[in-house]
Structure 1
């Protein structure tokens, strides 16, 4: 491979790597475990670039190499220590139909088309479509809970509220600022938080979430933001569930279902 081709390959991988890390983290339930798989993916590409180069779509190629490693390892999820709630969640995850959660994350969180999912997972198009639907059905029946929304844009907040309620969850309320979020959570403890990172008065949704987690213990959190790059830096703990704006309903439904399975979210700082 020429020097120019090597530089081009590195540029493509660097562009897509933060999103592979996001995906790996959601699959494993652990930032460390997810990053280990991402690192193994890079090592595999460096040792044999043919698998990467067969695909015209560099993102599909990167995720396909990851999936080969993921499947060969038995697709394990992180084992939480001394946390019975998280252990039950992980056991529930393992009870899902094989490959459905992977297909759902690729479709909803990573925004891939069914044909891209098929290429990543090495399955037929019809099977990729079926896996996504099975995941939605199985996870949609999983559990209902109380959801708090931290979002300063009224239209977006109402849209999120409608999606969450249609899934069978209740919404404890909508907070537009850091202080409002703290007050709202004190009135009724949520079981899941949907949060923007940039709020109405210039305050930080990340700071609000960290304060809530410090007070209430670990809760699943989904960040929905127009600035995902602020959280996908690799320099600090990152959220397991991160949706980019503009989002669609399927992305929110999938992330909410996923987050309800995982019983802990790492604190963040910016």
Structure 2
């Protein structure tokens, strides 16, 4: 996803204030929020219809802990780059469900910027010691191994 063009982003989050705050932040950073979903059904429908570049996916949605399934389907079937946003990273499976990383909640503007920089440049733009702990990229080698198994 190395590009400097604005990303078309889907937000999958059932807490409306968090979703609206994230939408505002992403728009301020020059990206386009093309949809918001609060449930897995809504997220999958939007993912198929609007074909976003990136989806921020909460693990626990209005219909339960369905975010992992949403991430897996968006990544595998719709070629959407996925980032998890969650306060409980332990719910993310070992194969990462096709996601590129996780932003810990409560997230920070810096953590979101760092995640976007990582995705757009393919690597962090800041020295390792200056990075936050709010964004953790998943090990690419592990993610590639898991995609070869499926």
TM range (shorter): 0.7 to 0.9
Q: Distance in 2 between matches of 1:261 and 1:181?
A: 26
Q: CA deviation at 1:203?
A: 4.4
Q: CA deviation at 1:165?
A: 0.7
Q: Which has the higher helix share?
A: 1
Residue 224 (str. 1) matches residue 85 (str. 2) = yes
Residue 237 (str. 1) matches residue 99 (str. 2) = no
Contact 1:192 1:260 survives alignment (8 Å): no
Contact 2:34 2:52 survives alignment (8 Å): yes
Contact 1:192 1:259 survives alignment (8 Å): no
Moved over 2 A (4+): 265-268
The residue number in structure 1 matching 2:133 is none
Q: Distance in 2 between matches of 1:190 and 1:166?
A: 18
Residue 259 (str. 1) matches residue 119 (str. 2) = yes
Q: 1:174 aligns with which of 36, 44, 51?
A: 36
The residue number in structure 1 matching 2:9 is 147
Change (3 A) 1:244 1:189: same
Q: Which has the larger radius of gyration?
A: 1
Q: Distance in 2 between matches of 1:195 and 1:241?
A: 11
Q: CA deviation at 1:237?
A: 1.6
Q: TM-score by structure 2 length?
A: 0.73
Number of equivalences: 124
Q: TM-score by structure 1 length?
A: 0.42
Q: 1:198 aligns with which of 47, 56, 60?
A: 60
Q: Distance in 1 between matches of 2:65 and 2:102?
A: 19
Q: Which sections of structure 2, spanning at least 5 residues, go unmatched? A: 123-139
Contact 1:161 1:171 survives alignment (8 Å): yes
Contact 2:75 2:81 survives alignment (8 Å): no
Supply the RMSD in Å over aligned alpha carbons.
2.3
**What per-residue deviation string (whole Å, max 9, x for no partner) do you get for residues 52-105 of structure 1?**
xxxxxxxxxxxxxxxxxxxxxxxxxxxxxxxxxx6xx3xx8xxxxxxxxxxxxx
Q: CA deviation at 1:261?
A: 3.5
Contact 1:149 1:194 survives alignment (8 Å): yes
Q: Which has the higher strand share?
A: 2
**Counterpart secondary structure, 1:198:** coil
Q: CA deviation at 1:247?
A: 1.2
Higher relative contact order (CA 8 A, sep 6+): 2
